Amino acid sequence: MDVIAVAAVSENGVIGDGPTLPWSLPEEVRRYRERVADDLVLIGRRTFEMFDDPPGATQIVMSRSDREYDDPDVIHAGSVEAALEAARERGAPVLYVLGGSAIYGALLPHYDRMLISRIEGEYEGDASFPEFDRDEWELVSETEFDGYVLEEWLPTSKRD
């Protein structure tokens, strides 16, 4: 199973401001939703609760507090290990990690790839994408779109 981070990140590292994105790029959001629409996603509880219509076919919601969800397509996981095990049990070929900040950071050692929409400009916000060691990651592609550049990163340790 490939574990892939998908994030929209401003030039100064911001990924969110409270329950909203500090920018408006409908085309980027559309592409993001299309990418994960039929797949299993891992998302933090607060980020999950921000969505009226959460992305992905099935959501694994990671939270320290034990929760039950009425929707059979929403699964609680109390830890990184429990989330990865839940994904493996479903036989998913890919698990998309959609944030928030703490979730991105906790899963960083497990990523097989990162897809980062690098948003043009610097923004105020209360959530940031975690710092990662650029010596341990290789930028393998950049695709320009209106208002952002889609970056694909692969870990150097898994490519050797």
Domain count, the chain: 1
Mean pLDDT over 16-28 rounds to: 93
CATH number of the structural domain spanning residue 22: 3.40.430.10
Q: Does the pLDDT value for residue 130 go beyond 60?
A: yes
Q: Does the pLDDT value for residue 121 go beyond 90?
A: yes
Neighbours of 78 (CB within 10 A): 13
Domain that holds residue 43: 2-158
Residue 158: the pLDDT is 61
Tens digits of residue pLDDT in 74-104: 999 999 999 999 999 999 999 999 999 999 9
